[in-house]
Every structure is written in structure tokens, then in C-alpha cells.
Structure 1
Amino acid sequence: MVFDEHSKRQASINTWCLSVVAPNTFLTMNCFQMAKAIQLLVLVVGVGVAILSGVECRKARILESFDYSAISCRAHSASIEDFGGVGDGATLNTQAFQQAVNHLSQYASDGGAQLFVPAGKWLTGSFNLTSHFTLYLHKDAILLASQDINSWPVVDPLPSYGHGRDAAGGRYISLIFGTNLTDVVVTGENGTIDGQGALWWQQFHRKKLKYTRPYLIEIMHSENVQISNLTLVNSPSWNVHPVYSSNVIVQGLTILAPVTSPNTDGINPDSCTNTRIEDNYIVSGDDCIAVKSGWDEYGISYGMPTKHLIIRRLVCVSPYSAAIALGSEMSGGIQDVRAQEITAINTESGVRIKTAVGRGGYVKDIYVKGMNLHTMKWVFWITGNYGSHADNHYDPNALPEIKGINYRDIVAENVSMAGRLEGISGDPFTGICMSNVTIAMAAKAKKYPWSCVEVEGITSGVVPRPCDLLPDQGEQELGMCDFPSDSLAVEAMELQTCSFRMNYF
């Protein structure tokens, strides 16, 4: 019973071990080893839950009862079934979800409310969330995104982008959407949100879409946001997109998409302040985490940076993109990003900075510590010639400022090229610091491990020896490129133990 009830997440990881890293035997075995470790943890937790559940049954108290962690607990509870929801995988539940949220919004000033989605397959289109609200998915609940493209509402492009990412016009609203909210939680017991993205990817490749594809979860202009303990699969495009928001926690997600799927970024904090992204496992067709802040003249005008961002304990697989990308839409600025304990397997690059003439903005005060990288094309990649402009009205004199980029305590193996660092002529990227970095090159690595143009910086204890533009400072300087010791405000956001109780008798 425990194996049956608690193996769902592990089965999905096993499947992706085979589909993503095969036929590379080394990577497949490493992936399975990680899967077995997770399975053991799940089993131990599951035995405890089974014992507790047996006690509850004998006392015959409450049919639906569980605890979970959240930034806020709720005084009122309901199930989607109370609003006519049917989890048969065929009945469209969009109206039921929206009616449930609308009804529960009346409790916002009275302790808030939580909506429970029980086991089943819940087909739905987009619905909007409300403040002081929790959406909770049972471990065997699957939200299935509607594949009727014509039923998806269209909204305006983001003001800091001024243009759709896929097409010039607007964009299809995200599956789970919220704007101007306070205190909102989307969580579960690793319940699943399935974007059924294959149809969208096909239409995108055929250039048949009039508008930009939807995301799975998007929260805008909001504060105190938690997205956690869910499995997200096959998003039409980006998976999780907090934008113009503050005090955001994204935690404990498993995000899976075919590695060839277009633009299926994992988590994209965009013009956000005080964000904490931790303990996530991502297999993606694009960057696992992409930090953004607006596009060209629109992002410059909007002027809302992403700052005070923590990324830690990330496991990433993305053969054609980065574990962490900064940009390319960074025209509002990116500052004070702290990334540590990053594991990337069969991923194109570790941390990549993407910008270009016309972007303006800045990327500065970036700190990366403790990366473990396996099979990479580039460990370090900074690109000053990334094109992809919103339109032809960008300012060619808007040059980005890239400075204060710090890397330390990094180990990588089977690497094709250690670093590709390309600044902009007349606009060099400065303050690049690397310390205590060991890179084992692949058998068929590039002849020259480093390529450096228009960059300035220093290094210490870096193997293989970097280019002359990054001179070695000697072993006595191993303490440089230090990671900040102060705490950010988002670290003070603590999770409470919340309860859901529902008696059907």
C-alpha cells in the first residue's frame, strides 16, 4: 500500500531518467541512483503516514485530514467537488474552479480559505486566484490543461516587454493566474499540473499561433507568494512566472518537459524583489531558471529590476540551455543574485549571462558558490551579442552594464570548453571573479579551453588556467569572490504547519 501510494513522483523521475539522459549509460545510472535515494526517503515518510492514517481510521474521526507547510494558514476549507467539479479527465471544470475561488474570496478578511483538489483528473482552462487563498492538490490529483486553444482568453503583452514572446500581439493567459494579490499559496502533496503542451509546441513550430503561448502558473503585481510541492509537466511554454512581485517562495517543485520542447523554462523570476527558489528538480527544453526584467526599450522604460534573489539546491537537466540564465530580457536590471548548491547534469552551461546592444539595464552583484557540474558544453558563458529584439525601435546606444560577477567553489567534469566570455566592443564586462574552480575537460574538448573578449577580471585557483584577461592572483587569494554573509529579507519568511480537515459524513 505504501509503495503504491507514494511511488508516483519516483516513477515520473525514473521515466525521465530514461527519456532524457539515455543512451548515456553513465548519466542514466547517476540519475537512477538519485531516484533510489528519493524513493527511500519517500518510503520512510510513507510508512509514518500509513501508521498515522491507521490510527485515524480506527478512531473514525475525519475522512480527509492532512498537514502541510505554508506561509499562511486558512480558517475556511472547501473541495472543488463542492462546486460541481468532476475529476474524470473529460469534464471541463473551468467554471467550477472559478466559482470556487470567487466564493472563497469572501473569506479573505476572515482568516482566508483553502481549496482542496482531491484525487482525479481535472480538465480545466485558465482560472484566476484570489488573496489570502490556498490551492492544494492531492498527491493523485492531476490538473489537465484544456487543449481547445480557442477557449483560452487573450491578454495584453507585459508592459515591460511591449511585445509577445512568440508573436507580435497579446498572449494567452496562464493556466493558473493571479494579479494584484496578497498572500497566495499554490501547493500540494506533489500533485500534478499537466500543461499538455505537445499541441502548443506543434503550433509554435508551424508558426500557426497568433499569440504567445500560456504559462502554467503566473502571479503578477503581488506580494507574499508561495508555489511549492507540485509536479509540473509539459508546459506550453514557461512553467512558473512570478512577475512584478515581492516576497516570493518557489520550493520543492519537480518540473519535467522533453528536452527538445521549445521555451519550456522552469522558473522565471521577472522584475521581482525578494525571491527564494530552493529544492527544485528540473528537466527542461530551455533554461532551468531564467532571471528576467523586461525587454529592450520597454524594460528600460518600465524600470523594475529583479533583485535580492536566492537560488539554492537546484538539480537541473537541460542539454540545450543553462542551469541558471540571467537575461536575455534584463533591461530593467538584475542585481544581488545568490546561487549555491547547484547540480547540473547534461546541461549546456552552468550560469549564463545573455545580453546585447539595445538591452540597456545591468547585471551586477552576482554570487555563485558550490556548483557540481557533469557533462557541459561551457561552464562559464557570458554573451554580449544575444539578438532577439522585441522590435526595431530599440536604442542602439543602450548598452548593458555587466559587472561584479563572482564564482567560487565549482567542480565540473566532461566539459567541452571551460569558458566563453564575450563582452561588447567599447562596453567591456568588468569585475569578473573566479576562485577555486576545477574543470576536467572531455576527451574531445576544444583545443583552447577559454575564449575571452572585452572582459576584465581576476582568478585564483582555476584549472585549466584562464585567459590572460583574467589573470591569476595566486593561491593566497583563494578567499576572494566571497559569497555575501548577510541575510536577505526573504529568508525571514517562515513556513507554518497548516491543517486541512474535512468530514464528509
Structure 2
Amino acid sequence: MSIINRLIICILFVIYVNCEIIEYQGIENQSDLGTQWKNGALLNQTLASLQPYDELVFLNTTYYLMGGILANNIRDVIIHFEGTLIFSDDTKEWPRNGSGNVLECFQFMNFQNVTFTSSTVGLLDGQGEVWWGLLGYAEYHENRPRMLNMGNSSQILIENLYFKSSPYWTVWIWAVDGLEIRYSEISNRRNDYDGHDYWNLEAFNTDGFDVTGKNVWIHDCTVWNQDDCIAVKDWSENMLFERINASGLGLTIGSIGESSVRNITFRDCYMHKTYKGIYTKFRGSGIIENVLYENIVIFEPEQWGIFIGPAQQADNVDICLPNPCSLCWPELPFAKCNMPQNASYIDITLRNITVINPTERTGVIMGSETNPMQGVVFDGVVFQNPPSNYFVCENVQNGQAIGGTYPVPPCFNTDS
């Protein structure tokens, strides 16, 4: 619906509600530091003034602004991004709290029935390159701003937005009840290389869409990044992800620790030269249950086509330290990959999964010694030209390989 049509509707409703369309009055097309601070401050003031049924419009132009955009308790509002917002690349001037932690680009809390939209494609650029790389990680570690952090919210719609070059996680929406993201794109890459070489992978922690909560539907989106493309995190249920083009560290559930995740579906997705494909991971104890991956094509995955087990991650400058599975495993002989105790996979189904020409390895299926996987079914999970069988397959109780699954994981039963 166009802004003009919305204005007509607003006029029709004026008898009943106070409805206002507000154009953001920031300084256009100027990138100096002073302008960035002024535009950021004005946006904070504008968001704080919004009332139910208002609509905020960013015109089809470019605004440079400083991060630290904070808003709470907004409901029944539509925000239109018709142009481009570019966040500051001055890491030294970036706002921080009293503990020295950076503020997010956008930090929203307690939003209800809010839509973020564009009539074309709205561009949000985090200029993450200045935060990325080995030197960036050594200096900032994970003290880098997320592009959008939204918590304790409900009935949220995000559509027609392009998130580019986030310094850290791109979209982090937690404790949500009712979220739809559609027709949107995330791109966190250092050049146009068709894959994930070490240069690009040094854009550490640039997760795509990370979510917790319930009743989430993300569909018809594209993600190219250097960490989890989608990440379903702790205490999540009833989520559907479909028709997604993704390349990064996987269509992911996790990492999970001391919590439960259930009723999650990924389907009808394509992954081009992704680093990881299907990826579920525990960092500690917990439960992941009733999960379906269906109708997914993974073309030339560069590391693992399928990884079901522990979180392969690091939280230290020494990236080879296992937490619980080392990023250097299995390339380096001293690297360890540990599956947490009391971590339960229950009723996990992979159906109609095609992995084409995996570059290095096939996959990992690693259950917990204390809690072997239960109810795991591979139905039509086919690797074309696999370099080997599964690198690890252990602690699986009565795993079923049916529907022409190839290769059959060695710790599974077959349909023969």
C-alpha cells in the first residue's frame, strides 16, 4: 500500500483516532560527524514522540547518523524506510554506556503491532567493515553494535528492507510473540567473492536473523553472511522458515544451553556455496525437539553440509579453544570437539535434502553420551559426489535412514 493510500485511510480514521504521518526532518546527504550526531539525536526525539496510529516516513534520500537509537513502548505504528540510513564508521566516537559497552544501531523494547516497511527497498547500512577483521576482533572482541536489537515485543512485521554490513549480529529479536519477516535481505561480506574464504569469514559474528520467542515466520528472504544465517536461540517454539536463500554458517538452531527449543521447521530453501548447511548446536545441556528440515538444496558447501551436534565456536581471541567444539577441529590434530552432557536431540527429521558436490566433508552427527539422540530420521537425504561418509556419527539411538538416503550414516539403521 502506498503512502498516499495510507494517508487517505488516516484521514478517514481521523474522527476516531489521532493519526499523523510524520516525515523525518534529518539533514540529508551530509556525512560529517556533526551531522551524524544531530540526525541520531533527532531520530531519538522523533521516535519518542510517536503515538498509536502514527506513521514515520524516511524520504527517498540518504541520511548519515550515529548509532544509539533507542525507543521503548511504541505500539500501533508504521515506520517507512523509503531511502537510505547509513550509520557512522567512527568507532571511537560510537556511543557507549557507563561500562564501556557500545550501544546498538537500533535498540527497541516493548514494541507492539509495529511495522517496518518500504514501498521499494529501504537500505540500512552499518558500515561494518571498520569493525571487522582480525585486528578489529583483537580490539573490539564482541563489543560491536548489532544493527537491530528488539526485545519483549509482539506482532512485529519487517518487510522490504536491505540490511547491509552490520558490525555484529544483524537482526536480534528476542522474547517475541508474533513476528513476520518477509521480502528482506541481509548482506555481510567484504567483497564479491563467490563463497566464504578466510578474508570474508573474518567478518566475525555477523549473524543474519537471530530470534527467540514463539510464533515466528520468516520467509522469502536472502541472507549472505559469515556466521549463522538464521539462528533459533534459547527458549523458542513454533517457528517456520521457508523460501530462504542463505549462504553463511547455516540454517541454524542454537547454540542452546540450559533451555529447550521445539516445533521448528525449515523448508524450501537454497544454499549456494554456504560454509555450513544444516546446523544444530548445543553449548550446554538442554533439549532440541520436534524439528523438520525439508526440501533444501545445498550447493557445494565449503565445510559441513550437515552438522548436528555441539556448537563449533570460540569466545576467545584464541579461536582454537573449544567452546565446546573448536573452530580448528578437525583440521588441527590437537583441536577438540566436545559434545555437552545432558544435551538431548529428540524427533529430528531431515527430508528431501540434496547436498551437491560438498567441497571438503560430508557431515557430523554427534549425540551426547549421557543423552543419545532419539527419533532421528533421514528421509531422502542425498549427497551427490560425497568425498567420504559422515566424519563423525555417534551416540544415536535407532536413527533411521530411509527414502534412498546416501550415504547412510554409519550409526543409523536403514530401510532395508
Q: TM-score range, shorter-chain basis?
A: 0.7 to 0.9
For 2:365, the equivalent position in structure 1 comes to 421
Matches within 5 A, 1:444-483: 445-446=387-388, 448-449=389-390, 451-456=392-397, 457-474=399-416
For 1:373, the equivalent position in structure 2 comes to 298
For 1:403, the equivalent position in structure 2 comes to 346
Q: Confirm whether residue 220 of structure 1 aligns to residue 151 of structure 2.
A: yes
* Stretches of structure 2 lacking an aligned partner (at least 5 in a row): 8-12, 190-199, 317-323, 325-338
Report which stretch shifted further, 368-377 or 397-406.
397-406
Deviation at 1:449, TM superposition (A): 4.3
Q: Distance in 2 between matches of 1:204 and 1:306?
A: 35
Q: What is the aligned-residue identity percentage?
A: 19
Asked if the contact 1:434/1:462 (under 8 Å) is kept, the reply is no
Q: Distance in 1 between matches of 2:153 and 2:218?
A: 17
Asked if the contact 2:341/2:371 (under 8 Å) is kept, the reply is no
Select the residue among 29, 45, 62 that pairs with 1:99.
Answer: 45
Superposed CA deviations along residues 415-445 of structure 1, whole A, max 9, x for unmatched, are 2433311122233222211112222025xx2
For 1:489, the equivalent position in structure 2 comes to none
Q: Confirm whether residue 338 of structure 1 aligns to residue 269 of structure 2.
A: no
Superposed CA deviations along residues 207-246 of structure 1, whole A, max 9, x for unmatched, are 2227621111111011111122111110001111101111
Asked if the contact 1:450/1:467 (under 8 Å) is kept, the reply is no
Asked if the contact 1:87/1:119 (under 8 Å) is kept, the reply is no
Asked if the contact 2:310/2:366 (under 8 Å) is kept, the reply is yes
Q: Distance in 2 between matches of 1:281 and 1:326?
A: 18
Q: Distance in 1 between matches of 2:176 and 2:353?
A: 31
* Stretches of structure 1 lacking an aligned partner (at least 5 in a row): 1-48, 54-63, 157-168, 294-304, 475-505
TM-score normalised to the size of structure 1? 0.67
Asked if the contact 1:174/1:214 (under 8 Å) is kept, the reply is yes
Matches within 5 A, 1:141-220: 141-154=83-96, 171-188=101-118, 189-202=120-133, 205-209=136-140, 212-220=143-151
TM-score normalised to the size of structure 2? 0.80
For 2:59, the equivalent position in structure 1 comes to 118
Asked if the contact 2:236/2:260 (under 8 Å) is kept, the reply is yes
Q: Which amino acid aligns with 2:4?
A: S
Asked if the contact 1:381/1:420 (under 8 Å) is kept, the reply is yes
Q: Which amino acid aligns with 2:287?
A: Y
Q: Distance in 2 between matches of 1:325 and 1:234?
A: 20
CA RMSD in angstroms comes to 2.9
Q: Distance in 1 between matches of 2:48 and 2:219?
A: 31
Q: Distance in 1 between matches of 2:313 and 2:300?
A: 27
Asked if the contact 2:126/2:167 (under 8 Å) is kept, the reply is yes
Q: Distance in 2 between matches of 1:333 and 1:170?
A: 32
Q: Evaluate the alpha carbon distance shift between residue 257 and residue 85 of structure 1 in structure 2; reply closer, same or farther with a 3 A threshold.
A: same
For 1:77, the equivalent position in structure 2 comes to 21
Q: Distance in 1 between matches of 2:271 and 2:299?
A: 6
Q: Evaluate the alpha carbon distance shift between residue 144 and residue 76 of structure 1 in structure 2; reply closer, same or farther with a 3 A threshold.
A: same
Q: Confirm whether residue 362 of structure 1 aligns to residue 287 of structure 2.
A: yes
Q: Evaluate the alpha carbon distance shift between residue 281 and residue 432 of structure 1 in structure 2; reply closer, same or farther with a 3 A threshold.
A: same
Superposed CA deviations along residues 169-192 of structure 1, whole A, max 9, x for unmatched, are 774232122112211222212110
Instruction: Choose between structure 1 and 2 for higher RCO, CA contacts under 8 A separated by at least 6 residues.
Output: 1
- Find the residue that maps to 1:471 and give its secondary structure: strand
Select the residue among 211, 229, 253 that pairs with 1:326.
Answer: 253
For 1:253, the equivalent position in structure 2 comes to 184
Asked if the contact 2:390/2:410 (under 8 Å) is kept, the reply is no
Asked if the contact 1:135/1:186 (under 8 Å) is kept, the reply is yes
**Residue-pair matches, total:** 366
Deviation at 1:400, TM superposition (A): 1.7
Asked if the contact 1:385/1:424 (under 8 Å) is kept, the reply is no
- Find the residue that maps to 1:334 and give its secondary structure: strand
Q: Which amino acid aligns with 2:231?
A: A
Deviation at 1:388, TM superposition (A): 4.5
Select the residue among 287, 301, 310 that pairs with 1:384.
Answer: 310
Asked if the contact 1:287/1:325 (under 8 Å) is kept, the reply is yes
For 1:501, the equivalent position in structure 2 comes to none
Higher strand share: 2
Deviation at 1:103, TM superposition (A): 2.0
